[in-house]
Structure 1
Amino acid sequence: MTTSVDMVVAGSTVRVLVDPTRTTAPGVPTLGPSIGEYPCYDTVSYARMTDDEERNRRFRAALARLAAGRVVLDIGTGADLLWARESVRYGARRVVAVEAMEESFHRAGTWLAEPGAGERITLLRGVSTELDIAPRAEVCVAEIIGSLAGAEGVAAVLADARRRHLAPDAVVVPHRCVTLAAPVAFRRLLGGAPVAFAADSLGYLRTIFEWHGSPFDVRLRVKDPARDALLGGGQVVEVLDLNGHLPLEQRRSVRLTIDRPGVVDGVLTWLRLWCLPDGEPLDALRVASNWASVYFPLFDSEHPVEAGDTLDLTVTSTLGEDGTHPDYHLDAVLRTSTGTRSASHSSPYRGGGFRHHPVHRHLFP
């Protein structure tokens, strides 16, 4: 059962389709907007990150190996000052922690009262690309990785940090992350539940729309998607080597092969991340973590496919209007025994249209 909820944004009413019975609970497929790239973190979202043991044990292992005796820069420290405090625990000589969001900055400041924290941690308000930071750091913790690896602007942020904030041989944590994509049908990702936003996603939608000044076609975040909805293995469509070559813009083409009969209308993307070169990767589709998957619609309707059919996909990321966060564009060609169909989808960081695709027209009736 779904219901329509009217939301007032910038003086206009936006109608949103909601499943009031569904909230973001562990193991339950749920739909919401992608939030990591927008300033809409709250106590719930911070708690999910702080309690994310799959993420945390990998970051801790990296800091345990790298932090002792070094100067650490923590970009996007968050309300819990987590990696700054962990760096101190693992022996960092000094930590500079940077937080842009005002409320998160003030909450982070309360942690400085912990024994030993105030002496070794300097907390700065702002974005690292606009701050002068000294001395240069030997380790950088940049947990500004999105469900789409580059969505939070980590490439541009680290390019600036390498120039101005980091020592020449500085090491960045995480070490590497990629975005994978696989062919899917959207409705099947939700495991039989109605195609509607989870009830507890409305606050995030409102915050994103108010930040933007108007509604737009948000990226669709699917938490705990039904795994049997994927009709093929994932292929890498975005690569971020945070300790290597890190382009600000990229374009990758892959061929996704259908491995069983079904229907396809788009692709599901998800994150895979390494905190150390020899460490166990975190695959956001296969372990319970704070990161979710993002669905991109391509075709206006579902198309039947058989094993051996292919979806040729090109994913392009270019810097958005703020010079930091990327815009994404997808081009696809589906090849089946009944013919060839082409489609494309644009997902800018901000701007773009509203209710352009049938999926968004359904969700915002």
Structure 2
Amino acid sequence: MRIEYHRTLIADHVRNRAFHDAMAAVIKRGETVVSDIGAGTGLIGLMAAKLGAREVFLYEAAEVAGVAAAVLKANRAKACQLIPCHSTEMDDPPRADVVVSETLGNYALEENIIDTLADARKRHLKDGGVIIPARIRQFVAPVISDRFWTELTVWDGVGFDIDLAVARTMSLNNVYVRSFTAGDLLAGGSSAKEWDAVTLGSDTRSARKGEASWTLDAAATVYGFAYWWEAELSPGVTLSTAPDAPRTHWEQLFFPLLTPMSVAAGESVLASLRSRSSEEAGTHLGWTAVHFDRQGASKARQAMDLDKGWIP
């Protein structure tokens, strides 16, 4: 059991407060029924009970369900009922006024939140009920600092007249969890653009694709792209993994290029990102970069794929 992972969740006060405040806005004391999907150690479900929920159903399929059971008992949480299975496996589930699910990753969709909440809306949620989070927006920005790209290309400097270019290419066909500063990003991060948005519960497309482009005011070298997300939990309550947002246990992702692109002023660069996620196959990511000249003609194109970064 990865109890240390759950410790990082419990220590994330920004995350905890955001989910607490989102539930506080919709729970009516003594009336509201809540379903907590992916309950982990039971923290969010317990918060719902403390906020006055009449009943709380906690769904958890992993081993940590045993910890949740003990935690609920220790807290004398009579309103809480632990259901040790995945919510999608539950036959004829009880209906809830609020479905809450903190099944978000550094890549927002890596824990299959789209499929989970599409099923929840259909089978777990009462008519007119509320889903938390409601929406996810995904952002991308060009990385103009070489510090992460240099870290990934150490294969070039091993010496001894040994060529490790194959391993270098595999390294660059991977996605990395990193923390960016404003100086790492084009225009200090203000260049970030939304490439995808998901309305949870009603959007059923677990395969996502989007793009963004930038025309540069000054010459810069692009080493890859930074990724982050923003979740609207409820009206007025958001949670973000952006570099300038309050720090959480999540970080940003780095999508590197195979070769840096030297982009002159007036030229542009385009990033196309794609993903597909499923419980059976996990998450697959791909990204493409295109460098255009001032007239809009393509100067260079690179296509990266996470699958190429793994040894078969």
User: CA separation in 2, counterparts of 1:310 and 1:277?
Assistant: 36
Kindly provide the amino acid, as one letter, of the partner of residue 176 in structure 2: L
Show CA shifts across 1:28-61 (max 9, x none).
xxxxxxxxxxxxx733322222121222221111
Contact 2:232 2:239 in 1 (8 A): yes
- The 2-side partners of 1:146 and 1:168 are apart by 28
Residues 181 and 269, structure 1, Cα contact 8 Å, conserved in 2: yes
Aligned residue in 2 for 1:220: 176
Q: What does 1:1-365 align with in structure 2 at a 5 Å threshold?
A: 42-68=2-28, 69-79=31-41, 81-102=42-63, 104-117=64-77, 119-132=78-91, 134-185=93-144, 187-189=146-148, 194-195=151-152, 219-222=175-178, 224-232=179-187, 233-242=191-200, 244-258=202-216, 260-286=218-244, 287-298=246-257, 300-320=258-278, 322=280, 325-336=282-293, 340-347=299-306, 353-354=309-310
CA RMSD of aligned residues (A): 3.0
Tell me the number of residue pairs that the alignment of Structure 1 and Structure 2 aligns.
288
1:28 equivalent in structure 2: none
Q: Are the structure 2 counterparts of residues 95 and 341 from structure 1 closer, same or farther at C-alpha, using a change threshold of 3 Å? A: same
Q: Any conservation in 2 of the 1:72–1:137 contact (CA below 8 Å)?
A: yes
* 2:215–2:268 CA contact under 8 A, matched in 1: yes
Superposition deviation, residue 162 in structure 1: 1.8
**TM-score computed with the length of structure 2 as normaliser:** 0.81
- TM-score of the pair, normalised by structure 1: 0.70
- 1:284 aligned counterpart, secondary structure: coil
SS of match in other structure, 1:322: coil
Question: What percentage of aligned pairs have identical amino acids?
Answer: 26
Contact 2:38 2:102 in 1 (8 A): yes
Q: Which residue of 2 aligns with 1:26?
A: none
- Asked if the contact 1:55/1:282 (under 8 Å) is kept, the reply is no
Deviation of the 1:320 alpha carbon: 4.4
Higher RCO (CA-CA < 8 Å; seq separation 6+): 1
Mark the runs of 5 or more structure 2 residues left unpaired by the alignment: 154-172
Query: Would you say the 8 A contact 1:54–1:282 is kept in 2?
Result: no
Q: CA deviation at 1:225?
A: 2.0
| Runs of 4+, deviation exceeding 4 Å | 336-339
User: Quick one: which amino acid aligns to residue 57 of structure 2?
Assistant: V
